Structure 1
Amino acid sequence: MNLKTKSKQIIEVDGLKFKDLNNNGVLDAYEDWRLSSRERAENLVSLMNIDEKLGMLMINQLGMGKAKKEGENTEILDEVFEKADGTPMKSLDKYPTTETIEKLHMRHFILRDNMPNEDINEWVNKLNEVAEATRLGIPVVVASNSRNEFSSKLLAENLEKLPFSLYPGTLGIAAAVQGDLEQGEGYKIIDDFAKYSKNEWLDSGIRKGYMYMADVVTDPRWQRTDGTFGEEPELISEIIARLIKGFQGEELNEDSIALTIKHFPGGGARENGFDPHYKEGKWNVYRTEGSLENYHLPPFIEAAKHNPSSMMPYYSAPSIEKSHFQSFDGEAIPFEEVGMAFNHYILNHLLRDKLGFTGYINSDTGIMGKTGWGVEDLTVPGRFAKAINAGTDLISGTNQVKDLKKAITSNLISPQRIDQANVNVLIEMFDLGLFDNKTYVGDQPVVNEATKKEAEEAAYQTHLKSVTLLKNDNVLPAKGQKLFVKAFGRGEEETEKYQELLLKDVQALNIDIVEDYKEADIAALFLYPVSGSYFDATPGLLELEICEDKTNIALNGDTYKETTLSNFYELNKIVDYMHENDKKVVTSVNMILPWILENVEKKSNALLVGYDTFPGAVLEVILGQFSPIGKLPLTLPKNSKVIVVDEYGVSISRNDVPGYDKDKYMREGMTYAYVDQAGNEYRSGFCLNY
Structure 2
Amino acid sequence: MTMAKTSVHYYKNTNGPTIGVTVKPVIEKDGLYFRDLTGDGILSPYKDWRKSPEERARSLAEELSADEKIGMLFVNSWKMGIYQEDKSKVDESGLLNEEIVEKDESIFNVEKTYGTTYTLKEMGIRHLILRQNPRPEELAEWVNQLNQVAEASEHAVPVMVISNSRNENGEMVFGMNDAAGVFAAWPGTMGIAAAVKGSGLGLIDDFASCIREEWDSVGMKKGYMYMADVVTDPRWQRTYGTFGEDPDLVCRIMERLVPGIQGGSDGVTPEGVAVTIKHFPGGGARENGFDPHYAQGQWNVYQTENSLQKYHIPAFQTAIDKKASSIMPYYAKPCKDKSRPQYDRKGRQIEMEPVGFAFNQAFIQGLLREQMGFEGYVNSDSGISNKMAWGVEMLDIPSRIALAVNNGVDIISGSLDVFSAREAYERGKNGYYTTMGHPVPDGFTAEQLTLSDEALTRAAIRTLREKFALGMFDNPYRCPDKAAQVIARKEHWDAAYEAHQKSVVLLKNAGNVLPLTKEKLSGKRIYVECFRADGEAAAKETEAVRETVEKLVRGNVEMADGSAREGGDICLTQTYLDADYALLFISPSSGEYFNATKGYLELDICEDKEVADVDGEGRPADTFHRETTLCGAGRIREISGAVRKRGGKVIAHINFTLAWEVGNVEPSADALLAGFDTYTEAVLDVAFGRYAPSGKMPITLPKDDSVIRVDSTGVCISPNDVPGYDKDLYMPQEMKDGNGKAYAYRDSQGNYYELDFGLSYEG
- TM-score tier, shorter chain, comes to over 0.9
Distance 1:511 1:658 in 2: 44
Pair 1:112-2:171 in alignment: no
**For residues 174-213 of structure 1, what are the structure 2 equivalents within 5 Å?**
174-180=193-199, 186-213=200-227
Distance 1:507 1:27 in 2: 67
Instruction: Describe the superposition over 1:174-222 as per-residue Cα deviations: whole angstroms up to 9, x where unpaired.
Output: 0010011xxxxx3111011111221111112211010000000000000
Matched letter for residue 280 of structure 2: F
User: Is the alpha carbon distance of 1:536 and 1:160 closer, same or farther for their aligned partners in structure 2, counting shifts above 3 Å?
Assistant: closer
Q: Of 453, 460, 464, which residue of structure 2 is paired with 1:415? A: 453
2:298–2:332 contact (8 Å) kept in structure 1: yes
Gaps of at least 5 residues in structure 1 are 181-185
2:168 is matched with 149
Is the partner of 2:545 in helix, strand or coil? Answer: helix
Deviation of the 1:574 alpha carbon:
2.6
Distance 1:127 1:452 in 2: 26
Is the partner of 1:312 in helix, strand or coil? Answer: strand
2:381 is matched with 364
Deviation of the 1:115 alpha carbon:
1.1
2:652–2:669 contact (8 Å) kept in structure 1: yes
2:719 is matched with 654
1:399 is matched with 416
Instruction: Describe the superposition over 1:250-289 as per-residue Cα deviations: whole angstroms up to 9, x where unpaired.
Output: 2311101000001111000000001111111100000101
Distance 2:306 2:257 in 1: 27
Distance 1:674 1:134 in 2: 60
2:230 is matched with 216
Deviation of the 1:408 alpha carbon:
1.1
1:554 is matched with 613
Distance 2:60 2:544 in 1: 51
**For residues 26-105 of structure 1, what are the structure 2 equivalents within 5 Å?**
26-68=42-84, 75-84=94-103, 86-88=105-107, 91-105=110-124
2:434 is matched with none
Between stretches 219-228 and 348-357, larger displacement belongs to: 348-357
Of structures 1 and 2, the larger Rg is shown by 2
User: Is the alpha carbon distance of 1:108 and 1:529 closer, same or farther for their aligned partners in structure 2, counting shifts above 3 Å?
Assistant: same
1:635 is matched with 700
2:166–2:180 contact (8 Å) kept in structure 1: no
1:501–1:615 contact (8 Å) kept in structure 2: no
**For residues 247-266 of structure 1, what are the structure 2 equivalents within 5 Å?**
247-248=261-262, 249-250=264-265, 251-266=267-282
Pair 1:678-2:736 in alignment: no
Instruction: Describe the superposition over 1:527-558 as per-residue Cα deviations: whole angstroms up to 9, x where unpaired.
Output: 11000011001111110000111111101332
1:73–1:80 contact (8 Å) kept in structure 2: yes
2:9 is matched with none
Matched letter for residue 461 of structure 1: E
Between stretches 498-507 and 277-286, larger displacement belongs to: 498-507
1:487 is matched with 530
Between stretches 559-568 and 485-494, larger displacement belongs to: 485-494
2:410–2:463 contact (8 Å) kept in structure 1: yes
2:314 is matched with 298
Is the partner of 2:572 in helix, strand or coil? Answer: coil
Matched letter for residue 538 of structure 2: T
Pair 1:231-2:260 in alignment: no
Matched letter for residue 596 of structure 2: A
Between stretches 283-292 and 480-489, larger displacement belongs to: 480-489
User: Is the alpha carbon distance of 1:175 and 1:69 closer, same or farther for their aligned partners in structure 2, counting shifts above 3 Å?
Assistant: farther
1:568 is matched with 633
Question: How large is the Cα RMSD of the aligned pairs?
Answer: 2.1
Distance 2:671 2:658 in 1: 20
Instruction: Describe the superposition over 1:377-403 as per-residue Cα deviations: whole angstroms up to 9, x where unpaired.
Output: 110011111111111111011111111
Q: Of 466, 469, 475, which residue of structure 1 is paired with 2:506? A: 469
1:489–1:498 contact (8 Å) kept in structure 2: no
User: Is the alpha carbon distance of 1:72 and 1:662 closer, same or farther for their aligned partners in structure 2, counting shifts above 3 Å?
Assistant: farther
Deviation of the 1:483 alpha carbon:
2.4
Instruction: Describe the superposition over 1:630-679 as per-residue Cα deviations: whole angstroms up to 9, x where unpaired.
Output: 11100100110110001110000000000000011111122111111111
Is the partner of 1:323 in helix, strand or coil? Answer: coil
1:169 is matched with 188
Deviation of the 1:449 alpha carbon:
7.2
Distance 1:143 1:496 in 2: 36
User: Is the alpha carbon distance of 1:449 and 1:430 closer, same or farther for their aligned partners in structure 2, counting shifts above 3 Å?
Assistant: closer
Matched letter for residue 213 of structure 1: M
Distance 1:161 1:294 in 2: 34
Q: Of 579, 603, 619, which residue of structure 1 is paired with 2:644? A: 579
Pair 1:131-2:150 in alignment: yes
Distance 2:173 2:315 in 1: 29
Is the partner of 2:611 in helix, strand or coil? Answer: strand
Deviation of the 1:125 alpha carbon:
0.5
Matched letter for residue 581 of structure 1: R
Gaps of at least 5 residues in structure 2 are 1-12, 429-449, 556-570, 616-620, 736-741
Percent identity over paired residues: 46
User: Is the alpha carbon distance of 1:497 and 1:238 closer, same or farther for their aligned partners in structure 2, counting shifts above 3 Å?
Assistant: farther
1:183 is matched with none
Distance 1:587 1:269 in 2: 31
Distance 1:78 1:200 in 2: 24
Pair 1:545-2:545 in alignment: no
Deviation of the 1:26 alpha carbon:
1.5
Moved over 6 A (4+): none
Deviation of the 1:584 alpha carbon:
1.3
Between stretches 586-595 and 80-89, larger displacement belongs to: 80-89
Distance 1:672 1:227 in 2: 23
Distance 1:90 1:383 in 2: 14
Distance 1:466 1:113 in 2: 27
Between stretches 573-582 and 374-383, larger displacement belongs to: 573-582
Is the partner of 1:565 in helix, strand or coil? Answer: coil
1:463–1:617 contact (8 Å) kept in structure 2: yes
2:492 is matched with 455
Distance 2:88 2:628 in 1: 36
2:443 is matched with none
2:465 is matched with 427
Distance 2:221 2:241 in 1: 20
Deviation of the 1:579 alpha carbon:
2.3
**For residues 1-16 of structure 1, what are the structure 2 equivalents within 5 Å?**
1=13, 2-16=18-32
Q: Of 541, 554, 557, which residue of structure 2 is paired with 1:498? A: 541
Matched letter for residue 377 of structure 1: M
Distance 1:153 1:467 in 2: 21
Is the partner of 1:152 in helix, strand or coil? Answer: coil
Is the partner of 2:734 in helix, strand or coil? Answer: coil
Instruction: Describe the superposition over 1:114-173 as per-residue Cα deviations: whole angstroms up to 9, x where unpaired.
Output: 111110011000000111111111110111111111012299xxx999441111100000
Between stretches 442-451 and 21-30, larger displacement belongs to: 442-451
Between stretches 39-48 and 499-508, larger displacement belongs to: 499-508
Matched letter for residue 275 of structure 1: D
Instruction: Describe the superposition over 1:8-34 as per-residue Cα deviations: whole angstroms up to 9, x where unpaired.
Output: 111212222112221222122211111
Deviation of the 1:295 alpha carbon:
0.5
Instruction: Describe the superposition over 1:490-543 as per-residue Cα deviations: whole angstroms up to 9, x where unpaired.
Output: 113432453365346446756565141334311111011000011001111110
User: Is the alpha carbon distance of 1:508 and 1:426 closer, same or farther for their aligned partners in structure 2, counting shifts above 3 Å?
Assistant: farther
2:599–2:613 contact (8 Å) kept in structure 1: yes
Deviation of the 1:369 alpha carbon:
1.5
TM normalised by structure 2 equals 0.86
- The size of the alignment, in residue pairs, is 681
Distance 2:193 2:146 in 1: 37
Is the partner of 1:237 in helix, strand or coil? Answer: helix
Distance 2:405 2:210 in 1: 36
User: Is the alpha carbon distance of 1:514 and 1:503 closer, same or farther for their aligned partners in structure 2, counting shifts above 3 Å?
Assistant: closer
Distance 2:668 2:458 in 1: 61
Distance 1:87 1:58 in 2: 16
Pair 1:241-2:300 in alignment: no
1:331 is matched with 348
User: Is the alpha carbon distance of 1:668 and 1:355 closer, same or farther for their aligned partners in structure 2, counting shifts above 3 Å?
Assistant: same
TM normalised by structure 1 equals 0.95
Matched letter for residue 140 of structure 1: V
